[in-house]
Copies of this chain bind each other. A is one copy, B any other.
Amino acid sequence: MNILITAGGTSEAIDSVRNLTNHATGSLGKVIAETFAEQVDTIFYVHGPKAVLPNNPAIKFFPIASVRDLEKTMQEILTTTPIHTVVHSMAVSDYELDYTTSEIDLAKNLADMISTKSPSTKDELEKLIKTALTSNALASNTGEKKIRSTSEQLIIALKKAPKVIHSIKKWQPTTQLVGFKLLVGVSDADLVAAATDSIKKNKADYIVANDLENISTDKHEALIINHQGIKERCHTKQDIANTLLTLIKQEG
């Protein structure tokens, strides 16, 4: 049986020296991989640039950086190799670069546009601004080598990145999917609601729902949730890894 684990965080290039990163250490993915490694054939380990790496001969490594890299790599694996379970613990950016601009260029371009189209109501004006922002009309830069730091503001407009988790069951309908949901400073009910939503949207079998405020070096509180609700409650990374292994093996 083959397992695909994603771990660490993605990194989107803003220019040749700047990156927008999701800072996950990948330490949960490492513990899961090392716990699973003795009981499976191969682990396909897809990881972000700065993730701590597990160590076991059963693990094959697939380094990625951006969400687009992640999408390509996972599609390649899932459309060519039978994968029993995908454990998708990577902190994937919801957004990728649309364009960058400055307060000077943005003001100039918007003022030009408003003056030309002269909207007659506030609603029309609002709509015009919104359309301008999401079009490329305002982009003074979509990937310059290195953005010069001459303006008072650097404005980075990000657009929605593809939802990789949404494609996993499309690429391989028979695989089991364990997703993750990280929120900050919320209740168990909020975690369950977010997890249930993800189970529906992404056809996930389990969601590991956790709160950043309840994660530290030696503690990792998490709820393992399926379509029926809370299935297990875990307190450490090792606990999460052991519980997932048991659940996955139960499903055959």
Give A residues with C-beta under 8 Å from B: 11, 14, 16-24, 50, 91, 93-95, 98, 103-104, 106-108, 110-112, 114-115, 122-123, 125-127, 129-130, 133-134, 145-146, 149, 152-160, 182-185, 212
Contact = CB atoms under 8 A, between A and B. Distances in A.
Contact of A95 (B115, B127, B130, B154): B154
State the oligomeric state as a number of copies. 2
A108 B216 CA distance: 39
24 contacts: A17-B22, A17-B24, A17-B182, A18-B93, A19-B22, A19-B23, A50-B50, A94-B154, A103-B133, A104-B130, A106-B129, A106-B133, A107-B126, A107-B127, A107-B133, A108-B126, A110-B110, A111-B122, A115-B122, A134-B152, A134-B153, A145-B212, A154-B157, A155-B157
Contacts of A129: 106-107, 110-111
Contacts of A111: 122-123, 125-126, 129
A186 B139 CA distance: 23
Contacts of A182: 17, 146
Contact of A158 (B91, B123, B145, B155): B155
Contacts of A156: 155-156, 158
Contacts of A21: 11, 18-21
A195 to B, nearest CB: 16
A23 to B, nearest CB: 5
A21 to B, nearest CB: 5
Contacts of A212: 16-17, 145-146
The 8 closest A-B pairs by CB, nearest first: A94-B149, A111-B126, A107-B130, A107-B129, A145-B184, A103-B133, A156-B156, A154-B158
Nearest to A94: B149
Nearest to A16: B184
A121 B89 CA distance: 53
Nearest to A183: B146
A14 B20 contact: yes
A133 B151 CA distance: 12
A20 B17 contact: no
Contacts of A155: 133, 155-158
Given A146-B182, A155-B157, 16 more contacts: A17-B91, A18-B20, A18-B21, A18-B22, A19-B23, A103-B134, A106-B129, A111-B122, A111-B125, A111-B126, A114-B125, A115-B122, A134-B153, A149-B160, A152-B160, A153-B160
